[in-house]
Amino acid sequence: MSSVPAFKRLPRAVREQQMLDAAVKVFSRRGFHAASMDEIAEDAGISKPMVYAYLGTKEELFVACLHREGTRMMQAIAGAAAPDLPADERLWRGLRAFFGFVGAYRDGWAVLYRQARGEQPFAGELATMRARLVEVVAGMLDHALRAEGREIAAIDLEVVAYALVGATESLADWLADHPDADPEKTATRMMNVAWLGAAQLLHGVTWRPPVD
Amino acid sequence: MSSVPAFKRLPRAVREQQMLDAAVKVFSRRGFHAASMDEIAEDAGISKPMVYAYLGTKEELFVACLHREGTRMMQAIAGAAAPDLPADERLWRGLRAFFGFVGAYRDGWAVLYRQARGEQPFAGELATMRARLVEVVAGMLDHALRAEGREIAAIDLEVVAYALVGATESLADWLADHPDADPEKTATRMMNVAWLGAAQLLHGVTWRPPVD
DNA sequence: GAGCATACCTACTCGTGCGTAGGGTTACGC
DNA sequence: GCGTAACCCTACGCACGAGTAGGTATGCTC
């Protein structure tokens, strides 16, 4: 019987990626709780027990999503910002990579990130990632300061870095909600806010991306 | 029978506030979905049907919480920033009021706000509030620009305002997570980032709150 | 082509928690 | 002191969705 097997059998690795794709999509659309495992399974073109067999419980599945997307993002950023460049150059490249990532994986990022903030079990996971980002930014600021022979309290540095990261995330949300917006341009705007500051901007000074 | 009525009968208005207090607390601790109506009712010292009778469904209850806390916040800010002051003064007062509010209602704010971002049904509600904030900030920037005879595209203004609001929310989160931190000091730090910008800060210029 | 692991399914169980039915009791006007 | 309206309760119904039991087919190895 069954001369034509309705649909193909695929190796585990492939199916897992399909499931993760579906999960990201559904979690992003519905939110963690409102998303049902049935819908995810259906969207992945597979039945529910397979999801449990491969990726475990709903929570574990969500964590797996967070991990994949988080790793992708970190790699995108890390790959762009070489540590031996001057601080402004590093900041610029990091921002550009970041917004590029968000633009490319709108679903993936915006929603997973937005989701994870609220739900207790995952807030920690997220906080770790953000903490790494804050540390990187704080390190850059500190480096730039020392280069000028200055120094400020570590806590102030951290808070400033926190604010910058927050502003960036906020613009990422904006970008995710405006599909027509250009990631590159958004990065430039963020660079203006971050590096020159509102006051400078008000005086008409404008930072421009280097033409390379 | 029942010479001593176990606990008092109270007028509706009072009970509603008690319920809202309890709801804010529980929603903030557990998150929207994990919070149970039973727990909220118990925490309010009342039985579940009363909650339904007065505040309606779980969603309606949450919206009511959002509304109360949101209104409180907006009033705190609006009351502080008189429209005839110079922009930097207004910004400073607004920030101070905002962080003061967050410091006072840590539970209320941080969690409701964090919660509402993720859950679809409420994201809109929240977006409206944030949009009002963004508009106010953008208006301030625009005003300041015109005073200097300059002008920039409306969309740039909006994005900058968005970034500033995002940075502020981010610091509010930070504040909510650091119970020992001083709201006033946090506001000052935010003012530095917002008004002078990172570059200015790097050159050692520091904005100080006026001593009044 | 026998044996075995892997991919895959249909069809259930069962807890959890929202929302309600139906009834009791206290205050207050008249 | 009697009706009426507001306050308040102890149960329950019921849907929804996470996770599982138990079985079928397909390819791979020797």
> Following DSSP, what letter does each residue of B30-48 receive, concatenated?
H-TTT--HHHHHHHTTS-H
Among A170, A198, A188, CA closest to B141: A198
Q: Look at the block and give the residue holding tokens 């120094």.
A: A151
In degrees to the nearest 10, what's the CA dihedral of A183, A189, A191, A197? -160
Same domain, A98 and A124: yes
Residue B45 lies in a domain: yes
Query: Is A135 in the same domain as A49?
Result: no
Report CA Rg, chain B. Answer: 21
Does B143 lie in the same domain as B81?
yes
**Helix H or strand E segment including B119:** none
pLDDT at residue B99, rounded to an integer:
94
User: Helices (H), strands (E): how many in chain B?
Assistant: 11, 0
- For residue B44, CA distances in Å to A161, B8, B62, B103 come to 40, 13, 15, 23
* Residues A79, A110 share a domain: yes
Question: Given an 8 Å threshold on Cβ–Cβ distance, is B117 in contact with A117?
Answer: yes
Total count of residues recorded for chain A: 212
Spatial contact of B66 and B112, defined as CB atoms under 8 Å apart: yes
Measured distance CA(B161)–CA(B141) in Å, rounded: 8
Among residues A39, A68, A66, A67, the alpha carbon closest in space to that of A51 is found at: A39
**Protein CA A71 to sugar C1' D16 (Å):** 34
**Residue B181: inside a domain, yes or no?**
yes
C-alpha count within 13 angstroms, C-beta hemisphere, residue A125: 23
How far, in Å, CA of A166 to CA of B195, rounded?
16
In a domain, B61, yes or no: no
Q: Does an H or E element contain B173, and which?
A: helix B154-177
Backbone φ and ψ of A40, nearest 5°: -60, -45
| Residue B31 structural domain | 10-56
Asked whether residue B2 is assigned to any structural domain, the reply reads: no
pLDDT along chain B (212 residues), means of 10: 57 96 94 95 96 97 94 89 80 89 86 80 85 85 76 79 90 88 88 70 58 57
- Whether the CB-CB separation of B170 and A170 falls below 8 Å is answered with yes
User: Do B92 and B128 belong together in one domain?
Assistant: yes
Residue with more model confidence, B11 or A206: B11
The protein footprint on chain C, as nucleotides within 7 A of a CB, is 6-11, 16-22, 25-27
Tell me, yes or no, whether B85 and B175 share the same domain. Answer: yes
For position B197, which CATH number holds? 1.10.357.10
My answer on whether A184 and A86 are in the same domain is yes
Subunit contact A148:B115, Cβ cutoff 8 A: no
pLDDT for residue A141 is more than 90:
no
Band (A26; pLDDT cuts 50, 70, 90)? very high
DSSP per-residue string spanning A132-162:
HHHHHHHHHHHHHHHHTT----HHHHHHHHH
- pLDDT score of A150 more than 80: no
CA A25 → C1' D16, Å?
21
Give me the total of CB pairs closer than 8 Å, taking one residue from chain A and one from chain B.
141
Residues A106 and A133 in one domain: yes
The closest alpha carbon to A184, from A74, A106, A98, belongs to: A98
B5 assigned to some structural domain:
no
Reduce the DSSP state of residue B211 to 3 states and report it.
Answer: coil
**Looking at the domain assignment, is residue A36 inside a domain?**
yes
| A136 and A33 within one domain | no
The structural domain count of chain A equals 2
A5 touches strand C (CB under 7 A): no
Residue B102 per-residue DSSP state: H
pLDDT band at A202 (very low <50, low <70, confident <90, very high): low
CA–CA gap between residue A85 and residue A43 (Å, rounded): 44
B86 and B30 co-located in one domain: no
- Residue A3 pLDDT class (50, 70, 90 cuts): very low
Output A149 or B202, whichever has higher pLDDT.
A149
Alpha-helical regions (H) of chain A: 12-30, 37-43, 48-55, 58-80, 87-104, 106, 112-118, 120-147, 154-177, 183-191, 197-202
Rounded to a whole number of angstroms, the distance from the CA of A167 to the nearest CA of chain B is 4
User: Which residues in chain B have their CB less than 8 angstroms from residue A186's CB?
Assistant: 159
Cα A121 to Cα A123: distance, rounded to the nearest angstrom: 6
In which element (H, E) is residue B79 found? helix B58-80
Q: Is residue A210 part of a domain?
A: no
A40-88: per-residue pLDDT in tens? Answer: 999 999 999 999 999 999 999 999 999 999 999 989 988 887 878 887 7
* CATH number of the domain within which A31 lies: 1.10.10.60
Give the CB-side neighbour count of residue A60, counting CA atoms within 13 A.
7
Q: Are residues B44 and B114 in the same domain?
A: no
Residues B133, B83, single domain; the answer is: yes
Task: Tell whether A19 is covered by a domain.
Answer: yes
A interface test, pick of B165, B193, B200, B206 with most A CB neighbours within 10 Å: B193
| Angle formed by the axes of helices B12-30 and B48-55, nearest 10° | 110
- The angle at the Cα of B134, spanning B132 to B137, to the nearest 5 degrees, equals 110
Contacts of residue A135, Cβ cutoff 8 Å, sequence gap at least 6: A161
Q: Does residue A201 carry a pLDDT above 80?
A: no
Alpha carbon A12 to its chain's center: 26
Note whether B135 and B127 are within 8 A (CB).
no
Taking the CA of residue A59 and the C1' sugar atom of nucleotide D20, their distance in angstroms comes to 17
Read off φ and ψ for residue B7, nearest 5 degrees.
-145, 155
Amino acid identity at A17: Q
pLDDT of the residue at B168: 92
